[in-house]
């Protein structure tokens, strides 16, 4: 009985690989991008690209695990949700009130260690911000208006 269950689960795991996620990124207009619009310093831009842009922009880099269902389904949903809440690629399309609100959210979430998510930094160790990087990023975010 256990053998049939295990074989059934393996067959199911193989079959669900047919259902692929869309890994196409929407086009990016650099004139709307957060880094361009805010004229972020090189070191801040690098932090943002490394720790934030995979989930919060249209410049997602899809690693190998985006080819393995059901992990790919969860990860793609995570990217879609991240873009819905904040998309750096369309920053300049936000009105000033929304931009200011998003800046406050960025500041508090980075300062409190809520972003980047630990589930992301477990797999992407370079995205984990040091205390110095958090300080540099939050101090710079305070200057953006």
At 80 the pLDDT is 95
Is residue 138 within 8 A of residue 107, CB to CB? The reply is yes
Q: Report the distance separating Cα 144 and Cα 6, nearest Å.
A: 55
> pLDDT tens digit string along 51-82?
999 999 999 998 888 788 898 888 899 899 99
List of residues 6+ apart from 118 with CB closer than 8 A: none
At 63 the pLDDT is 86
List of residues 6+ apart from 144 with CB closer than 8 A: 38, 103
| DSSP character at residue 19 | S
DSSP reduced 3-state for 137: helix
- Domain extents in the chain: 2-143
pLDDT band at 47 (very low <50, low <70, confident <90, very high): very high
HEC string for 58-126? CCCCCCHHHHCCCHHHHHHHHHHHHHHHCCHHHHHHCCHHHHHHHHHHHHHHHHCCCCCCHHHHCCCHH
| Rounded average pLDDT over 117-127 | 89
pTM of the model: 0.86
> pLDDT tens digit string along 7-16?
878 876 776 7
Number of H helices, E strands in the chain: 7, 0
């Amino acid at each position: 009985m256990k053998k049939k269950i295990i074989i059934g689960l393996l067959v199911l795991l193989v079959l669900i690989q047919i259902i692929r996620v869309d890994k196409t990124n929407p086009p990016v207009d650099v004139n709307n991008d957060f880094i361009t619009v805010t004229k972020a310093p090189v070191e801040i831009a690098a932090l943002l690209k490394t720790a934030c842009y995979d989930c919060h922009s249209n410049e997602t880099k899809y690693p190998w695990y985006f080819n393995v269902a059901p992990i790919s389904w969860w990860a793609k949903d995570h990217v879609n949700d991240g873009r819905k809440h904040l998309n750096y690629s369309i920053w300049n399309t936000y009105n000033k009130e929304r931009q200011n609100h998003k800046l406050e959210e960025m500041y508090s979430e980075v300062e409190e260690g809520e972003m980047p998510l630990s589930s992301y930094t477990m797999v992407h160790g370079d995205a984990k911000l040091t205390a110095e990087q958090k300080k540099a990023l939050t101090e710079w975010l305070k200057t953006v208006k």
